[in-house]
Structure 1
Amino acid sequence: MNIDTRIKYRHLVCFLEMARQGSLARAADVLAVSQPAMSKTLKELEELLTVSLFVRSKSGVTLTEAGVAFLRYATPSVQALREGVNALRGGEYVGGTVRLGVLSTVESLLIPELVQRLHARHSSLVVSVVTGPSAYLLSQLRVGDVDLVVGRMTDSPEIQGMNFEHLYSESMTLVVRADHPLIRGPLDRSQLENYPLVLPLANTTIRTFADSLFVQCGISQSRQRLETLSITLSRRYVLRNDAVWIAPLDAVRLDLASGELQEIDLGQREPGGSIGICSNAHVPMSVAAQGCVEVLRELGQAYGEGIYP
């Protein structure tokens, strides 16, 4: 059956934005159109497809089963068209853009090395990086706003229905500044709760592993805490005072090597979560994204063998 020529690009854009925002009003604001115009466009699309794409309620809109199915095809279609137009306008017919969702666990060491290797191999490649918690990044992956999500995310409910590929395992560790009182003599674990604690945000995958380490070691968490996913903020805060940071090992590996931070030896480490690549099973992967996956696999193999940049 031929595609109905009455289905226009504007229909798809409006549909995707409403799916992304979960609200007609917010989608209309993003697209700079009136709400009546937005509603009319979506009504036209539903009539042309002869299905309801959204369930409307006072709290917003959610995709119907038909809407979820249509999203799988509308997303790569619009994405491919945008990439083609951008490539022609830029005069670059090879290269393209790869859009990465990056969790804090990998942004300090893995991703800079990834970008360096990609740019060494491709003269016209744009690497666009978005950071944030796993739930947010996986939601962006679901609607096609990023091509891949990289990091520790296997415990996130939003990963259901996605493809996950393991790269390597990474443990958590406790670190402090080089002249911290805790490293001046034999470690008394009970003293840890007397110092401010820096740890990941609650309800994130990495926080689960952080909490697990404390439980395994029988340590009570300090009541004075800084909760953040920002590696930059965590590092700066710990270097300026007596705080204890429970950090992904990759995030502090270079600081440990330089001596700026010192690891508190608990006699054990949390055994390690899976760092990997998540992709949308329903969206065809672009050539640029495929090239990115190849380099990530190379780095994952090196990390698994204990070889770091």
Structure 2
Amino acid sequence: MKRMPNIRHLRAFCEVARRGSISQAAEHVHLSQPAITQAIAKLEEEVGVSLFDRRPDGMAVSAAGALFLDRAERALERLRTGTREAIRIGGRKGARGLADFDQLLTVAQIRALTAVADAGNFSLAARTVGISQPTIHRAARDLERLSGLSLFVRTVAGIALTPPAKALVQHVKLAVAEMEQGFAEVGEGPGGDSARIVVGSMPLSRPYILPTAVNALVRERPDVHIDVIDGPYDDLLHGLRHGEIDVLIGALRDPLPIDDVVQEPLFEDPLAVVARAFHPLSRKAALTPDDLAGCQWVVPRRGTPTRDRFETLFASRRPRGLVETSSQILVRGLLLGSDRLTLISAHQIRHEHELGLLVILPVDLGGTERPIGLTVRRGWHPTATQERFLALLREAGRQAASPVPRV
């Protein structure tokens, strides 16, 4: 699990920041003044910076403390929202559990919940976080007693989350992600950049936009850590909504599948008929349907928008000898080694076109444009480094918006 400070320490920190006084904060968090002093000292040690300027008239939040305070408050609000949503979904009855059980959540319980959610098994979850199975099992059951909810059910495949647990774990992971961003923000400065950016990469982002933005960011900030995750859209969206991914890049969806994310279009990407350089058809000023149908093709698998467009293009006369594949590496190899054609995003062959390896044939494919852009969580507050990365992605998008020339 990402770094998550002691939750009671976070509450004490927020209360002292709000009231400017340890003595006044002690009355509201039900801790002694020495306990609060010790909590703040431990939190400052963990963060690595001073969160307060100590003054004769009280405690004033430092510049770094203000950044960390915003993340701490957002994380605690996530926990509050998650517990209330879990109770609403679980339909808790009677006197079971505590109404505000977020006030008593511990890091051990959060670690158990997220580990079991990811592993689907207590033994595997325990190995993942490096603790014993009885310890993680006890923390999970303590969380059930505290909440008054059934969170885990046994299935043939292992341990599954109940609906209230799924709601809770989403907000818990988002709270942890907020604190990870908080650690990164206080680490940015003359001593280095501790930021980590996790990018969900869809196919149309990989040839140009993503490498262009990553290279530009690393030149400016060589210490930043960038983790690129490839996968199906649904898996990437799940990771985004649970705080495991910061931003998705690729084809946008219409309609948007869920309302807790927002999309930002960067450019429109059309389909093109592509061949190797010096292909016999590349010497023709205009191409007929017979010219295209007379060639062999490599095409995407059925069920994709590009394949649907191919089937429409050749509704009356189907080319023979099709090769079907979802591998762009194989498509590239087949085109370069033969006279085959393919129907592909113009953006995806931008580098090969600039190197003179592939050409776009003069075929009118109007109406095939797809919006390419960014998807982020609604209400997400990026760190300064993440914001810079978004700016570089937008700049790469503006560059990609310039049309790829035809033959």
TM-score range, shorter chain: 0.7 to 0.9
**Cα displacement (A) at 1:79:** 2.8
1:14-57: CA deviation from partner (whole Å, max 9, x where unpaired): 32234345565664564466666544432222222333345554
Per-residue CA distance 1:133-164 (angstroms, 9 max, x = gap): 32222222122221000010415875553211
Kindly state the Cα deviation for residue 198 of structure 1 after the two structures are TM-superposed.
3.4
Partner secondary structure for residue 205 of structure 2? coil
Larger mean CA deviation between 60-69 and 133-142 belongs to 60-69
| Corresponding residue SS for 1:98 | strand
Pick from 274, 277, 286 the counterpart of residue 175 of structure 1: 274
The more displaced of 110-119 and 64-73 is 64-73
Aligned partner of 1:247 in structure 2 is 344
Residue matched to 2:72: none
Of 190-199 and 243-252, more deviation after overlay is shown by 190-199
Q: Residue 173 of structure 1 contacts residue 269 of structure 1 at CA under 8 Å; is this kept in 2?
A: no
1:73 counterpart residue number: 171
Q: Encode CA deviations 1:227-247: one digit per residue, 9 max, x unaligned.
A: 22x433432332123433322
Pair 1:42-2:42 in alignment: no
In 1, Cα distance between equivalents of 2:355 and 2:217: 27
Name the CA distance, whole Å, in 1 between partners of 2:191 and 2:344: 41
Against the structure 1 CA distance between its residues 259 and 179, is the aligned structure 2 distance closer, same or farther, given a 3 Å change threshold?
Answer: same
The structure 2 residue matched to 1:208, chosen from 283, 287, 305, is: 305
Report if aligned partners of 1:19, 1:143 keep a CA contact under 8 Å in 2.
no
Q: Which moved more, 1:100-109 or 1:137-146?
A: 137-146
CA contact (8 A) 1:148 1:289 kept: no
Establish whether residue 276 from structure 1 lines up as the match of residue 376 from structure 2.
no
TM-score (norm 2): 0.61
Tell me the residue number matched to 1:116. 215
Which residue does the alignment assign to 2:94? none
Output the CA distance in 2 between the equivalents of 1:26 and 1:213.
46
- CA, structure 1 residues 96+58, in 2 after alignment: closer, same or farther (shift >3 Å)? same
Equivalent pair of 1:53/1:63 in contact (CA under 8 Å): yes
Whether 1:19 aligns to 2:117 is yes
Matches within 5 A, 1:78-227: 78-82=176-180, 92=191, 94-155=193-254, 161-183=260-282, 187=287, 189-190=289-290, 192=293, 195-199=296-300, 207-216=304-313, 218=315, 220=318, 224-227=322-325
Which is worse superposed, 164-173 or 289-298?
A: 289-298
CA distance in 2, matches of 1:213, 1:277: 27
| Distance in 2, Cα, partners of 1:214 & 1:132 | 26
Indicate the SS of the match to 1:266: coil
Report the more deviating stretch, 43-52 or 98-107: 43-52
Question: Which whole-Å CA distance do the structure 2 matches of 1:295 and 1:73 have between them?
Answer: 29
- The structure showing larger relative contact order (alpha-carbon pairs under 8 Å, at least 6 residues apart) is 1
In structure 2, relative to structure 1, the CA distance for the partners of 1:193 and 1:306 (3 Å cut) is closer
Residue 262 of structure 2 aligns with an amino acid whose one-letter code is: N
Q: CA deviation at 1:98?
A: 1.1
Report SS of the residue matched to 2:203.
Answer: coil
Rounded to whole Å, the distance in 1 between the matches of 2:235 and 2:366 is: 28
> Which letter does structure 1 place at the counterpart of 2:230?
T
Report SS of the residue matched to 1:271. Answer: coil
Does the 8 A contact of 1:213 with 1:270 survive in 2? no
CA contact (8 A) 2:273 2:344 kept: yes
Residue 9 of structure 1: how far off its partner (Å)? 2.4
Write the letter of the residue equivalent to 1:145: E
Give ranges in structure 2 of 5+ residues lacking alignment. Answer: 1-27, 30-100
* Residues paired across the two proteins, number: 302
2:201 counterpart letter in structure 1: V
1:25-36 counterparts in 2 under 5 A?
27=125, 30-31=128-129
The residue identity in structure 1 corresponding to 2:289 is R
Distance in 2 (CA, whole Å) between partners of 1:202 and 1:42 is: 44
Larger-gyration structure (1/2): 2
Q: In 1, Cα distance between the equivalents of 2:321 and 2:404?
A: 37
Displacement of 1:104: 1.5
- Secondary structure of the 2:249 match is strand
Amino acid across the alignment from 2:362 = D
Q: What SS does the aligned partner of 1:144 have?
A: coil
Report if the CA contact (8 A) 2:171-2:242 is conserved. Answer: no
Look up the equivalent residue of 1:189 and give its one-letter code: P
Q: What amino acid is aligned across from residue 125 of structure 1 in structure 2?
A: V
CA RMSD of aligned residues (A): 3.8
Contact 2:123 2:133 in 1 (8 A): yes
